[in-house]
Structure 1
Amino acid sequence: MSTATLTSKGQITIPAIVRATLGVEAGDRVEFVQVEPGRFELVAATQSVTALKGLVLKPASPVTIDAMNKAIATRGAKAR
């Protein structure tokens, strides 16, 4: 188990083994996620661009500008 000490300014130094395991470096962001009352997980908030590959599927066929304009008009009318 790794431990860290909280400074008077509310800062901690994440131990090297934890940084290496999370794959974070200076300047990277981390998130504190509450998993239950009084318990948090430290999660790396940065991902490489390649991790996003495949997140959005390509449309089966190209979308025309006319189709885009029609969709915008239809959804815009519903939003009012």
Structure 2
Amino acid sequence: MPNIRPSADLRNNYNEISEFCHKSSEPVFITKNGRGDLAVLSVEAYERLLGKSDLIRLLEEGLRAEKEGKVRSFSEVIGKMEGR
């Protein structure tokens, strides 16, 4: 279940929100005037999220290259690296 808090909680209960984010590795969603405004998460959780995003992007690039026939075999790549 998402942790949703009003914007005043970010100011008034910063340490509690920080502790929750670090211990759970989950974001806290902050609302402003009753609407979603921010997602707060620990730096570690953010870096993991970025890493997953980069991996997905690379996999998508590889699949796209395969569909376009822009792939090489392992032996072709090794041969090129060895200067053959």
* Shorter-chain TM-score range: 0.3 to 0.5
What TM-score do the two structures reach when normalised by structure 2?
0.32
Larger RCO of the pair (alpha carbons < 8 Å, separation 6+):
2
Q: Which has the higher helix share?
A: 2
